[in-house]
Structure 1
Amino acid sequence: MNEQDIIHYLETHPNFFTQHPSLLKKLTFHHSQKGTISLIEAQLTQQRQQITALTSQLEKFHQLAIQEADIFFASIPLQKKLFQAQDFLSIEKKLDQWAKSYELEGAKILLFTDSWKKTENIPSHNWVDRKAFEIIRLERLGLRQFYLGELSGKEKSLMFLPEELPIGSVACCLLGTKDTHKPTAILLFRSRETQRFHNGQDVSFLKHLVDIVDIHLEKHLSQ
């Protein structure tokens, strides 16, 4: 019997500790700050942390609603979908579906390898090396957070899979720049039309969208 067998057994027998209350009292965990604590205390601590995190997220959304109410309420359908997301891939899938509903080819998120801990459930094509992207940042973005327009073949090959081509134009948005100048991820929208995204377009909605996606990425990837 290995750890997975134990996990599977407990998941399929949720009443196990109810039937063995004495064992529940004996189980303890080592807490980095509190030392040895009981299983029940560990569960309460975890629940408090989840409540604190949720309160923080709600406050962030409240601030977004105050700042630009019209844009905030226009994005509510997408926000509902993202709240239903269970993990990173679910976030990306819902963004992709939402983008396609606006006649775009799709959306994707690239994570910088030095900003997040790599996990097996996030495919390799969702990771990007910061040094490799630096050439694109200098050429296309400079000090800006957004780039709307065309890309060279080499730039496309770094950020997109062969099956995602052909691409006429993109909206490239840097994530995680609110608290630091060092972005943590890239949000990409792609279109086959070369003029769908172009320099000079208003990015007010993209700014709001980036704030929303940032909150959900932090929720699922920082755990």
Structure 2
Amino acid sequence: MTTEMKKIETPVVDDTLIAQYLEENTDFFERHPQLLQQLSLRHQERGAVSLVERQQQVLRQRIMQLEEEITDLMVTARRNEELFQTYSELYVSLLECEDLPGIMDALQQTFSERLNMPALRLKFFDSPIELDEQFTFAADTHKMLLSKRFQNSHVYLGRLTADEKKLLFPDEPIASVALLLLGNKGELGMLAIGNHDAGHFEPAMDTLLVRQLQALLSKLLPPLLQHQANHHDTV
């Protein structure tokens, strides 16, 4: 009589189940410490290493990565603090200005000398007094720029076409700009800040500081221009 051997089916355990079990039983290797020395992992540079060694390597790498990230965050924080301080000092200087040349001097000193922005233009669309050519646009040359760059906001950060750069910065190889419309509705004029680096001003950048500057200039310039107009009338 033959005896049929019953085959015992072994349940299939895949990697997912093992990984899930280990995640749910983090003390598994504490209960089976002998496995730590028996298990080995392949390492590209060192060949076979124990699980403990590999864990140590991963931890060291993660610590180095975190240290680099912390260093980057500290550098960024320091840079932001310096930038905030620079803008704060600019606001004070602007509040002390009594005329348009003083406004331009304060802006130039901050952006050209302290922030390494090589080009700065302040242009008015309409003014109660006759201004130098540097403060005005020829005829209606700026209207195309306004309709293209300021559809949804009074601030534009990014790049310009060759014709737009020629309109604002004819003598500078500007690659990226910050354009701020001035006035309650952007009707007063425009402050244009240019940089040689194409990636310096980008649409995704935070605009808090430039919007504060925009708001301050929008309040300071109208009465200042009107004061100069009244002065000219009495002379």
User: Is the shorter-chain TM-score for this pair beyond 0.5, marking a shared fold?
Assistant: yes
CA distance in 1, matches of 2:181, 2:198: 21
**8 Å CA contact retained: 1:125, 1:161:** no
1:124, distance to aligned residue in structure 2 (A)? 0.7
- Could you tell me how far 1:150 is from its partner in structure 2? 1.0
TM-score for the superposition, normalised by structure 2: 0.56
Match of 2:168 among 154, 159, 175: 159
The residue number in structure 2 matching 1:46 is none
Match of 2:148 in 1: 139
1:211 matched to 2:215: yes
* 1:192 matched residue in structure 2: 196
Of 212, 216, 224, which aligns to 1:220? 224
CA contact (8 A) 2:180 2:191 kept: yes
Q: By how many angstroms is 1:130 displaced?
A: 7.2
Q: Measured at CA, do residues 146 and 182 of structure 1 come closer, stay the same or move farther in structure 2, by a change above 3 Å?
A: closer
Superposition pairs of residues 31-110 of structure 1, within 5 angstroms: 75-100=87-112, 101-110=114-123
Report runs of 4+ in structure 1 exceeding 4 Å deviation.
71-74
Q: Secondary structure at the match of 1:97?
A: helix
Work out the CA distance in 1 between the residues paired with 2:180 and 2:205.
Answer: 13
Report the RMSD for the aligned CA atoms in angstroms.
2.2
Aligned AA for 1:135?
M
Question: In 2, are the aligned partners of 1:146 and 1:171 still within 8 Å (CA)?
Answer: yes
The answer for the alignment partner of 1:34 in structure 2 is none
- Greater RCO (CA < 8 Å, at least 6 residues apart): 1
**2:127 is equivalent to residue 127 of structure 1:** no
CA displacement at 1:126 relative to structure 2: 1.1
The percent of aligned pairs where both chains have the same amino acid is 22
Judged with a 3 Å threshold, the aligned counterparts in structure 2 of structure 1 residues 130 and 213 are, in CA distance, closer, same or farther, namely farther
Stretches of structure 1 lacking an aligned partner (at least 5 in a row) = 1-70
CA contact (8 A) 1:72 1:208 kept: no
> Distance between the aligned counterparts of 2:186 and 2:139, measured in 1?
10
Question: CA 1:143/1:212 → structure 2, altered by over 3 Å: closer, same or farther?
Answer: same
Instruction: Report the 3-state secondary structure (helix = DSSP H, G, I; strand = E; otherwise coil) of the residue aligned with 1:118.
Output: coil
C-alpha separation between the residues in 1 aligned to 2:154 and 2:101? 23
Q: Which residue is equivalent to 2:178? A: 171
Letter in 1 for 2:192: L
Q: 1:196 to 1:130 in 2, by over 3 A?
A: farther
Letter in 2 for 1:146: V
Letter in 2 for 1:77: E
Shift of 1:76: 2.8
For the residues of structure 2 that align with 1:83 and 1:108, how far apart are their CA atoms? 19
The residue number in structure 1 matching 2:159 is 150
User: Secondary structure of 1:131's match?
Assistant: coil
8 Å CA contact 1:85–1:91 kept in 2: the answer is yes
Q: In the aligned structure 2, how far is the partner of 1:80 from the partner of 1:106?
A: 22
Work out whether residues 95 and 108 of structure 1, in 8 Å CA contact, stay in contact via their aligned partners in 2: no
TM-score by length of 1: 0.59
Q: Deviations over 1:53-112 (max 9, x none)?
A: xxxxxxxxxxxxxxxxxx998733112211332311220121111012012113221011
- The residue number in structure 2 matching 1:116 is 127
Query: Of the two, which has the highest radius of gyration?
Result: 2
Deviation at 1:161, TM superposition (A): 3.8
| Structure 2: tracts of 5 or more residues without a match | 1-82, 228-235
